[in-house]
């Protein structure tokens, strides 16, 4: 259920929260980006990219924000994990600083030699992070290989299209995306992201545009047909796991969570109900196929909840991030924390807090005692103004699905931990 970990550093304790909605008086500055100055404190000024889409449509006069995908989509039942990026300021760690793609980068970690980009010579080779290379080989097969073969051309096209220089990718990086720091001609720090086409990636830019920078990074330019984005870069970019106090992490995540929930922007965002129904079917099939009758009780109750919970909600359906955990929350300058990498869905808000309930240090963790789980549920529910029982029922449903997914993959350790959560939540919710 997890992806790639990010480096853990303490964020700047001096930062103060100033909502993007308060930014005013946008004015064009270098590179065609738009900066703003807060209305409350004229002395406080940083790279606040305007939430006006008119200002997002230009980067050196060439970057256009294309229309998002139209129509519906299906999401994989296998996983809710996404793409994690290590977005540290290379000036803080010169030994880990990304190098330019215009130089020859060794391909030891990748195992695949990538060809030179077509005719321009600006991208000689691409160094894939280990986790992405492994995912392309094991998950995407021939489609992954074809995507890799096209990657140098895509990177070269993006550099010319948007007038940017793309550097070596972040590490450990994402399992389905090539994500790298980039700069425009004026030296503005950006992020280039290109994703292997798959169900969960559809709607990411749509969600980020809907957030309009309110608690999330902004989309500066987008090529939905090729799953490419040019994004605001969060600096220093250390993730929320760098905060060691558990309650502080929970509170920060929940504050952002509630800010992100909003009316549905358009139909390209998939609905939770059919996705949960497919999870139920796949989980049931795995339970039968793997012949694990001794765990069937809690798993079967989780399957039933996957089928019923989306249809008996009383709260209004909202735009869900879909993968909101501390690894997808990065320290930034214009706000203390910004969210990245949505895997959006539309549905019950009680679905969203499951990961912050069950995870520690970027992985699903052994559940604590029942009274501690109950207390944590109560804390989260109070912070997001939801029914703790409903959050707990969604957690039971999801951990049942995670259990069987992990068992099928042969990841017996994660499967055992996820099942322990399923059993604990089943007891608590009884």
Residue partners of 234: CB distance under 8 A and separation at least 6? 87, 217, 330, 331, 332, 333, 338, 340
Tokens, residue 191:
């992020």
Kindly list the distances between the CA atom of residue 361 and the CA atoms of 4, 57, 245, 323, in Å, as whole numbers in the listed order: 11, 37, 11, 15
Burial class of 187 by CB neighbour count within 10 A (0 to 12, 13 to 18, 19+): exposed
pLDDT score, position 358:
94
Active site residue 156: no
**3-state secondary structure (DSSP) of residue 330:** strand
The answer to whether the beta carbons of residues 429 and 392 sit under 8 Å apart is yes
pLDDT score, position 313:
85
Residue partners of 151: CB distance under 8 A and separation at least 6? 114, 126, 178, 194
The answer to whether the beta carbons of residues 213 and 256 sit under 8 Å apart is no
- Cα gap 377→325, rounded to integer Å: 15
The answer to whether the beta carbons of residues 5 and 172 sit under 8 Å apart is yes
Q: What are the structural domains, with CATH classification, of the chain? A: 74-239 (no CATH), 241-429 (3.90.1200.10)
What does pTM read for this prediction?
Answer: 0.73
The answer to whether the beta carbons of residues 230 and 182 sit under 8 Å apart is yes
pLDDT score, position 309:
97
Q: Helices in 136-271 by DSSP H: which ranges? A: 141-162, 204-211, 246-260
- Cα gap 374→396, rounded to integer Å: 13
Tokens, residue 303:
């399957």
Tokens 């049942």, located at residue: 400
Residue partners of 248: CB distance under 8 A and separation at least 6? none
Tokens 């270098």, located at residue: 30
Q: Helices in 175-240 by DSSP H: which ranges? A: 204-211
Angle, helices 370-384/246-260, rounded to nearest 10 degrees: 40
pLDDT score, position 160:
95
Beta bridge partners of 183: 165, 189
- Cα gap 41→45, rounded to integer Å: 8
pLDDT score, position 97:
33
Among residues 51, 184, 323, 348, the one annotated as catalytic is: 323
* Cα separation of the two ends of the chain: 26
The answer to whether the beta carbons of residues 415 and 292 sit under 8 Å apart is no
Tens digit of each residue's pLDDT, the chain (430 residues):
433 322 223 333 333 222 222 222 222 222 332 222 223 222 222 222 222 232 223 222 333 333 222 223 333 333 333 333 333 333 333 222 333 333 223 333 333 334 333 334 455 578 899 999 998 988 888 899 899 999 999 999 999 999 999 999 999 888 899 999 999 999 999 999 999 998 888 889 999 999 999 999 999 999 989 999 999 999 999 999 999 999 999 999 999 999 999 988 667 789 999 999 999 999 999 999 999 888 899 999 999 999 999 999 888 999 999 999 999 999 999 999 999 999 999 999 999 999 999 988 778 889 999 999 999 999 999 999 999 999 999 999 999 999 999 999 899 999 999 999 999 999 999 9
pLDDT score, position 94:
29
Burial class of 425 by CB neighbour count within 10 A (0 to 12, 13 to 18, 19+): buried
pLDDT score, position 222:
95
Burial class of 278 by CB neighbour count within 10 A (0 to 12, 13 to 18, 19+): middle
pLDDT score, position 297:
94
């Amino acid at each position: 259920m997890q992806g790639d970990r990010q480096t853990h550093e303490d964020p700047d304790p001096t930062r103060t929260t100033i909502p993007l909605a308060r930014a005013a008086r946008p004015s064009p500055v270098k590179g065609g980006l738009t900066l703003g100055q807060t209305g409350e404190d004229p002395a406080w000024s940083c790279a606040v990219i305007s939430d006006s889409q008119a200002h997002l449509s230009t980067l050196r006069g060439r970057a256009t924000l294309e229309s998002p995908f139209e129509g519906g989509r299906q999401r994989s039942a296998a996983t809710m994990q996404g793409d994690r990026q290590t977005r540290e300021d290379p000036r803080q760690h010169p030994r880990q600083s990304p190098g330019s793609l215009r130089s020859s980068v060794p391909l030891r970690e990748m195992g695949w030699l990538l060809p030179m980009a077509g005719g321009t010579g600006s991208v000689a080779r691409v160094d894939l992070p280990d986790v992405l290379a492994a995912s392309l080989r094991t998950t995407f097969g021939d489609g992954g290989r074809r995507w890799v073969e096209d990657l140098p051309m895509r990177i070269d096209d993006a550099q010319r299209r948007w007038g940017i220089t793309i550097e070596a990718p972040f590490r450990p990086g994402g399992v389905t995306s090539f994500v790298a720091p980039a700069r425009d001609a004026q030296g503005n720090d950006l992020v280039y992201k290109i994703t292997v086409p798959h169900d969960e990636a559809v709607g990411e830019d749509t969600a980020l545009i809907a957030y309009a920078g309110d608690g999330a990074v902004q989309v500066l330019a987008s090529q939905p047909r090729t799953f490419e984005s040019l994004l605001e870069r969060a600096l220093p970019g250390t993730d929320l796991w760098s905060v060691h106090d558990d309650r502080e992490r929970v509170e920060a995540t929940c504050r952002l969570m509630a800010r992100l929930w909003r009316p549905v922007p358009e139909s390209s965002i998939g609905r939770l109900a059919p996705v949960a129904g497919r999870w139920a079917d796949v989980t049931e099939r795995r339970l039968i196929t793997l012949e694990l009758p001794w765990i069937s009780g809690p798993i079967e109750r989780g399957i039933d909840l996957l089928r019923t919970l989306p249809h008996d909600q009383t709260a209004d359906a909202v735009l869900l991030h879909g993968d909101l955990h501390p690894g997808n929350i990065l320290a930034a300058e214009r706000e203390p924390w910004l969210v990245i990498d949505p895997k959006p869905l539309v549905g019950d808000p009680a679905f969203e807090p499951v990961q912050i309930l069950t995870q520690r240090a970027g992985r699903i963790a052994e559940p604590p005692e029942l009274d501690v789980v109950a207390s944590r549920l109560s804390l989260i529910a109070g912070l997001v103004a939801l029914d703790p029982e409903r959050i707990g029922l969604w957690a039971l449903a999801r951990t049942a699905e995670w259990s069987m997914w992990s068992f099928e993959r042969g990841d017996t350790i994660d499967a055992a931990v996820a099942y322990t959560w399923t059993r604990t939540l089943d007891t608590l919710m009884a």
